[in-house]
């Protein structure tokens, strides 16, 4: 199934509830067919942004929402042709799976024959054929979520809006459904806005990620941009684990308590702090490594081992190594960091 795709544009969209500003004026351009993920901690304004796009909230005066060239700011949700899925499914408990999926088509008075065909297509797409006549209460959480998605898609929406659709599911199921969701969104080609506070979901599903904090956009970028080129400390600390290298700059080297790291690019020399990800450092011969320290804790995580290293710089460092590494606490080690893995934050 392929849906039409249109761009969405928000201009100067702010939101105030009873005198409290929960969303600062924001501009956002979402490409036709793009999956844009809104990521951030609880209360940062993700759902409010999604509800502005849906037409469940109006922006404060001066804000506008466009679907393609249509100004939809004043249109209520039922006239925007959006499909929406919530964390708690919001299915009709007294209707069957088939009736739930067909609900929107009935409201739109789609002819019975066409509606049946479309519901059948969605039942098969979502692997729900054998559940078509069951009541919602007879389904598992994952199945309910697939019904909710099918119901949102049946009227062929112009825009798909998903608010934490996998959050209520247990971790194993969530991982499996995440890759199903990815395949589905690629197939549909519909412009999608996806709210989550889970970074793995954001990384896997987002063409671009918007990191929000306290009612503002901190950064918009591809998953790689957000991870490797975070725009601020808030973004860097919210996404993944980060090590801080603190020291004094001298001749293009950041000198720390346990060695020296060369600046990868001229702009880095002078940055107050450098950071790197746990997987971007390797154990090396202490004689030639950038940094020297001793093993603190080792945590075996199956496919990798997480080590803490003390004495290399002011803070203990966390690094991830693949393979069978067994090092006793106190073992001296060297550490080298790939030059292009250093992140400079002001
Ligand atoms: P969560 O993941 O917890 O849903 P969120 O990032 O989606 O968080 P929002 O739901 O957009 O955040 O809420 C942003 C802020 O706006 C919160 O402080 C919330 O309490 C407040 N808020 C949201 N809706 C209303 C409302 N109808 N009336 C008053 N305050 C509201």
- Set out the domains of the chain in order of their start, with CATH numbers: 8-238 (3.40.50.300), 243-345 (2.40.50.100)
Q: Is the pLDDT higher at 290 or at 88?
A: 290
Q: List strands edge to edge, sheet with 243-245.
A: 243-245, 273-276, 343-345
Residue 47 Cβ < 6 Å to ligand 1: yes
Closest atom of ligand 1 relative to the 197 alpha carbon: 2
Among 34, 43, 81, 77, which residue's Cα sits nearest to residue 214?
43
Determine the pLDDT at residue 250.
81
Gap between the Cα atoms of 55 and 80, Å rounded:
7
Give me the pLDDT at residue 265, please.
67
Q: How confident is the model at residue 21 (pLDDT cuts 50, 70, 90)?
A: very high
From 48, 195, 196, the mutation candidate for ligand 1 (largest count of ligand atoms within 8 A of CB) is 48
Tell me, using a 6 A CB cutoff, whether residue 345 lines ligand 1.
no
- pLDDT tier for residue 264 given thresholds of 50, 70 and 90: low
What's the whole-number average pLDDT of the chain?
91
Q: Tokens representing 74? A: 């004043």
Q: How far apart are the first and last CA of the chain?
A: 47
**191 Cβ closer than 6 Å to some ligand 1 atom:** no
Give this prediction's pTM.
0.89
337: phi then psi, degrees, rounded to nearest 5: -120, 130
Segment 261-278 mean pLDDT: 76
3-class secondary-structure state, position 260: strand
Q: Per-residue pLDDT averaged across 235-243, rounded?
A: 87
Which tokens is 71 given? 């100004």
Residue 290 has pLDDT above 90, yes or no: no
Pocket lining: 196 vs ligand 1, CB cutoff 6 Å: no
Question: What span, in angstroms and rounded, lies between the C-alpha atoms of 183 and 194?
Answer: 15
Q: Is the minimum distance from the CB of 158 to ligand 1 under 6 angstroms? A: no
Chain Cα centroid distance, residue 117: 34
Q: What is the pLDDT of residue 90?
A: 84
Counting residues of the chain whose pLDDT is more than 70, the rounded percentage is: 98
Greater confidence, 115 or 313? 115
Atom of ligand 1 nearest to the CA of 48: 11
Q: Of the candidates 322, 291, 326, 323, which has an alpha carbon nearest to the alpha carbon of residue 309?
A: 291
Q: At what angle do helices 141-153 and 97-107 cross, to 10 degrees?
A: 20
Q: Is 20 helix (H, G, I), strand (E, B) or coil?
A: strand
Give the mean model confidence (pLDDT) for residues 285-302: 90
- Over residues 93-115, the pLDDT tens digits come to 999 999 999 999 998 899 999 99
Q: Which two tokens stand for residue 290?
A: 């950038």
- CA distances for 38 relative to 1, 21, 149, 258, angstroms: 25, 19, 19, 39
């Amino acid at each position: 199934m392929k849906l039409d795709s249109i761009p969405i544009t928000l201009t100067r969209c702010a939101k105030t509830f009873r005198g409290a500003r929960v969303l600062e004026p924001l501009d956002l351009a979402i490409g036709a067919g793009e999956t844009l993920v809104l990521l951030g901690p609880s209360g940062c304004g993700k759902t409010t942004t999604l509800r502005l796009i849906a037409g469940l909230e109006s922006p404060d005066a001066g804000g506008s929402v466009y679907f393609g060239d249509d100004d939809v700011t004043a249109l209520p949700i039922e006239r925007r042709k959006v499909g929406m899925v919530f964390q708690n499914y919001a299915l009709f408990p007294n209707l069957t799976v088939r009736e739930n999926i067909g609900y929107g088509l009935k409201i739109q008075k789609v002819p019975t024959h066409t509606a049946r065909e479309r519901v059948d297509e969605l039942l098969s797409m979502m692997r729900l054929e054998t559940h078509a006549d069951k009541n919602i209460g007879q389904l598992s959480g994952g199945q309910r979520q697939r019904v909710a998605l099918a119901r949102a898609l049946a009227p062929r929406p112009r825009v798909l809006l998903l608010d934490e659709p996998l959050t209520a599911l247990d971790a194993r199921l969530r991982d499996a459904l995440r890759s199903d969701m990815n395949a589905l969104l690629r197939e549909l080609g519909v412009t999608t806005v996806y709210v989550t506070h889970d970074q793995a979901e954001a990384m896997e599903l987002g063409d671009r990620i918007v990191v929000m904090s306290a009612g503002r956009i901190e950064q918009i970028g591809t998953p790689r941009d957000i991870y490797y080129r975070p725009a601020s400390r808030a973004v860097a600390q919210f996404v993944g684990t980060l090590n801080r290298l603190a020291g004094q700059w001298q001749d293009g080297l950041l000198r720390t308590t346990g060695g020296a790291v060369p600046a990868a690019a001229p702009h880095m020399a002078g940055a107050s702090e450098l950071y790197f990800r746990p997987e971007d450092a390797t154990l090396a011969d202490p004689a030639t490594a950038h940094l020297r320290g001793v093993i603190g804790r080792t945590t075996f995580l199956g496919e990798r081992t997480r080590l803490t290293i003390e004495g290399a710089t002011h803070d203990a460092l966390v690094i991830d190594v693949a393979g069978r590494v067994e090092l006793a606490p106190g073992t001296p080690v060297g550490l080298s960091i790939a030059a292009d893995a250093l992140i400079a934050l002001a």
